[in-house]
Amino acid sequence: MDVDGPGRLRRDAERNRERILTAARRLFSETGLAVSHNDVARAAEVGVGTVYRRFPRKEDLLLALFEDQVERVVQLAETASTGDDPWQGLCVFLEATLEMQAGDRGLQEFLLGPQAASLAGRANEAITPVGGALLARAKERGQVRADVEVADVAIVPIMVGAVMDRSRGIAPEHWRRVLALVMDGFRPSTGAELPGAALEHDQLIAVFARWKSGRHA
CA angle 190, 195, 196 (to 5 degrees): 145
Q: Judge whether 209 and 120 are in contact, CB under 8 Å.
A: yes
User: What is the pLDDT averaged over residues 33-52?
Assistant: 92
Residue 51 reports pLDDT greater than 90: yes
User: What is the pLDDT averaged over residues 175-201?
Assistant: 84
CATH superfamily of 63-213: Tetracycline Repressor, domain 2 (1.10.357.10)
Q: Distances in Å between the alpha carbon of 97 and those of 15, 65, 100?
A: 26, 15, 5
Least trusted range by pLDDT, from 74-88, 118-132, 201-215: 201-215
pLDDT at residue 179, as a whole number: 94
Domain 1-56 and domain 63-213 have a common topology: no
Taking each helix axis from N to C terminus, what angle separates 156-167 and 201-213, rounded to the nearest 10 degrees? 10
pLDDT at residue 211, as a whole number: 59
The domain locations on the chain are 1-56, 63-213
Residue 3 reports pLDDT greater than 60: no
pLDDT in tens, 105-125: 666 666 655 666 677 777 778
Residue 216 reports pLDDT greater than 50: no
HSE of 174 in the Cβ direction (CA atoms, 13 Å)?
13
User: What is the pLDDT averaged over residues 151-160?
Assistant: 86
pLDDT at residue 1, as a whole number: 40
pLDDT at residue 6, as a whole number: 53
CATH superfamily of 1-56: Homeodomain-like (1.10.10.60)
User: What is the pLDDT averaged over residues 50-63?
Assistant: 90
Q: Judge whether 98 and 179 are in contact, CB under 8 Å.
A: yes
How confident is residue 87, by pLDDT bands cut at 50, 70 and 90?
very high
Q: How far apart are CA 217 and CA 203, in angstroms?
A: 15
User: What is the pLDDT averaged over residues 86-107?
Assistant: 84
pTM for the model: 0.72
